[in-house]
Amino acid sequence: MANYKDIIAGCKDKKGGIIQAFHALQDEFNYVPQEALEEAARVFGVSEAQAYGVATFYSYLSVEKRGKYIIRMCESAPCHVAGADQVIKAVEDYLGIKVGETTADGKFTIELTECVGQCQATPVITINSEPVFNVSAEKIPEILAACN
């Protein structure tokens, strides 16, 4: 596992780049660990409270540990009318967890999201930000089984 200090140092030359550092940390850990958040605050010259304020403002950043695969269900209006409710229920049933939770084996986290900009093929879920098009409750087991 890469060192969080190196990851943050890689972004330090970007003015105001704390959000970019959080992205880089999430690419490695899927969340922003506490010690990395403290280090980022120090490197970018802001208080820990401010860094925490930034990390918790944005939906795509998390200070809580998340699974290897983050499944996001879009629930904006175009996906809503295309049956997002049934899809999210199928995801919850298949994984045996609710939205916001992570499976016991640390493999999957379910999150809700607003529009991901792929409205030509609703409803849409994303798996670690990769969109999956025209999903349905029936297709969910196959889609999730392919995550290894």
Partner 1 sequence: MEVDWDKRKGWYVMAEEKRVLLEHADKINPEKAEDYIKVGGYKGLEKARKMNSKDLIEEVKKSGLRGRGGAGFNAGMKWSFVPPAEVKYVVCNLDEGEPGTYKDRIICEKNAQALLEGMAICGTAIGSQKGYIYCRGEYPFVVDLLRNAIASAKESGVLEDFDIEVRMGAGAYVCGEETALIESIEGHRGEPRFKPPFPGVEGLWGVPTVVNNVETFACLPYILTNGAEWFAGLGAAKYPGTKVLTLTGDIENPTYFEVPTDYLLKDVIYKLGGGIKNGKKFKAVQVGGTSGAFIPEQNLDTPIDFDSMGTIGAALGSGAVFVMDETRDIVDIVTRISKFFEHESCGKCNPCREGTFRCREIMEKINAGRGTEKDIDNLLLLAKVMKKAALCGLGQAAPIPITSTIEHFGHEYRRKLLQYA
In the complex, which residues of this chain contact partner 1 (CB under 8 A)?
Answer: 14-20, 22-23, 44, 46, 50, 53-54, 57-61, 75-78, 80-81, 113-122, 126, 129
Helix, strand, coil fractions of the chain, as percent rounded to 5 = 45, 15, 45
Our CB check for partner 1 shows the closer of 43 and 97 to be 43
Q: Identify whether the C-beta of residue 95 lies closer than 8 Å to the C-beta of residue 103.
A: yes
Sheet containing 125-127, strands listed edge to edge, beginning at the edge strand earlier in sequence: 108-113, 69-74, 125-127, 130-132
Our CB check for partner 1 shows the closer of 34 and 129 to be 129
* Min CB(23)–partner 1 separation in Å: 6
* Min CB(49)–partner 1 separation in Å: 12
* Min CB(96)–partner 1 separation in Å: 25
* Min CB(59)–partner 1 separation in Å: 4
**DSSP strands (E only) in the chain:** 69-74, 108-113, 125-127, 130-132
Joined tokens for residue 125: 């879920």
Our CB check for partner 1 shows the closer of 94 and 131 to be 131
Joined tokens for residue 55: 């990390």
Our CB check for partner 1 shows the closer of 60 and 96 to be 60
Angle between helices 18-29 and 48-57 (to 10 degrees): 70
